[in-house]
Amino acid sequence: MTENVILSVQNLKKHFDLGKGTTLKAVNGISFDVMEGETFGLVGESGCGKSTAGRTILGLYNRTDGKVLFEDQDVHSMTEKERNNFLKKMQMIFQDPYASLNPRSTIFEIIAEPIEIHHLNKSKEALKERVYELLEDVGLNRDHANRYPHEFSGGQRQRIGIARALALEPKFIIADEPISALDVSVQASVVKLLQKLQKEKGLTYLFIAHDLSMVKYISKRIGVMYLGQMVELTTSKQLYNEPLHPYTQALLSAIPIPDPDIEEKRERIILEGELPSPINPPTGCVFHTRCPMAKAVCGQLQPKWLEKSEGHYVACHLYDEEVLAIEQFETIAH
Ligand SMILES: Nc1ncnc2c1ncn2[C@@H]1O[C@H](COP(=O)(O)OP(=O)(O)OP(=O)(O)O)[C@@H](O)[C@H]1O
């Protein structure tokens, strides 16, 4: 079976103008393709630009540079009609189910709203049935329709958010940290629900997360972001078995291992220093100020996006034969 690219993000940049000549480079040149039906994980610590990337992909923000193609159509140069159509196909679910549900609306009104906005309701009765069906799809039931968001637990509210996102029968869902605000015990059940829905409805996910522990189970491929840039991209399996970038290695070392014997021997790579400001990112490799492996060249030269093995990309001088040959490749002391 050939894999179709459904979303292509090409050297995407989103800079915020903070006034007085100050620019914040939230997303600074990221590229990746998402295949139809897959889950692509976008991972990186808080502030690295994941949410901004998600919002720019959905067209909620204008791009500063680069391109986002959804089914070969440029998301940022659509007519109003094309955009309306696109917004039916791509939906977003958010981290905070508390904030994203209107407390004064019933669950019925919340889920029915997108259907009504897009004038897709044929009759009152049909709309009711559709909302009940959506509630059942996410493991809730029709008796929940007349209640209000505060009557539900965090996990149930996230299910309501998912039902609302499914209302327009999208093909693609951007899930922005959908489980981060939930209790650990509830996280797995929401992930399972997302997987079930993906299978049933052939959905494609862009799954945004700040740590690698849960994304491993849901993503086919993962892109690791640091300070607005992509530093590594490969299959989830490859990323865990053979992480190349020192930042990925540090992120992986932070994941606790359930086996107490192995956990005891786990070596954590503690990154020194603060995350630099995206207003004034470091020159050369953006990670060099915190990288335990940094060499002199890392502060001077921006690493190339290298394909080290099929589909395994990394932006790091440690893997660049040409740079390795340079004499000045010496470790710098932090
Ligand atoms: N509307 C905005 N105006 C100005 N700066 C912004 C705006 N939105 C985000 N930023 C800044 O852009 C950078 C990236 O933020 P973003 O929320 O995309 O990161 P993130 O990786 O999703 O982090 P988090 O998980 O904390 O949301 C941050 O420095 C943030 O302060």
Protein residue whose Cα sits closest to atom 24 of ligand 1: 46
Residue 53 alpha carbon to ligand 1 centre in Å = 9
Contact between residue 121 and residue 115 where contact means Cβ atoms under 8 Å apart = yes
Residue 270 alpha carbon to ligand 1 centre in Å = 23
pLDDT band at 329; cut points 50, 70, 90:
low
**Mean pLDDT value across residues 234-248:** 95
The alpha carbon of residue 321 and the mean position of all alpha carbons in its chain are separated, in whole angstroms, by 31
Residue 63 alpha carbon to ligand 1 centre in Å = 15
What is the dotted CATH code of the domain comprising 5-242? 3.40.50.300
| The predicted structure's pLDDT at residue 261 | 73
**Cα gap 172→207, rounded to integer Å:** 11
What is the interface pTM, i.e. ipTM, of the complex?
0.97
Asked whether 280 lines ligand 1 (CB < 6 A), one says no
pLDDT band at 214; cut points 50, 70, 90:
confident
pLDDT tens, residue by residue, 31-86: 999 999 999 999 999 899 999 999 999 999 999 999 999 999 999 999 999 999 99
Task: Please name the residue that has the structure tokens 């996280």.
Answer: 187
pTM of the prediction?
0.92
Which residues contact residue 199 at a Cβ distance below 8 angstroms, ignoring those fewer than 6 apart? none
Angle at 64 (CA atoms; ends 9, 320), nearest 5 degrees? 55
Tell me which amino acid residue 104 is.
Answer: R
Residue 5 alpha carbon to ligand 1 centre in Å = 27
Ramachandran quadrant class, 156 (left: phi over 0; alpha: psi -120 to 50; beta: rest)? alpha
**Cα gap 214→218, rounded to integer Å:** 7
Asked whether 278 lines ligand 1 (CB < 6 A), one says yes
Given a cut of 80, whether residue 109 has pLDDT beyond it is: yes
pLDDT band at 330; cut points 50, 70, 90:
low
Q: Domain coordinates of the chain in residue numbers?
A: 5-242
Ligand 1: which of 12, 30, 51 to mutate, most ligand atoms within 8 Å of CB?
51
Protein residue whose Cα sits closest to atom 3 of ligand 1: 16
Protein residue whose Cα sits closest to atom 9 of ligand 1: 52
- CA dihedral sign, ordered 201, 204, 208, 211: positive
Protein residue whose Cα sits closest to atom 5 of ligand 1: 16
Contact between residue 240 and residue 41 where contact means Cβ atoms under 8 Å apart = no
Contact between residue 139 and residue 132 where contact means Cβ atoms under 8 Å apart = no
pLDDT band at 174; cut points 50, 70, 90:
very high
Asked whether 100 lines ligand 1 (CB < 6 A), one says no
Protein residue whose Cα sits closest to atom 26 of ligand 1: 46
Residue 77 alpha carbon to ligand 1 centre in Å = 24
**Cα gap 244→266, rounded to integer Å:** 18
Of 231, 249, 225, the closest CA to residue 302 belongs to 231
Judged by average pLDDT, the poorest of 12-16, 125-129, 151-155, 272-276 is 272-276
Asked whether 156 lines ligand 1 (CB < 6 A), one says no
The alpha carbon of residue 330 and the mean position of all alpha carbons in its chain are separated, in whole angstroms, by 35
Tell me which amino acid residue 278 is.
Answer: P
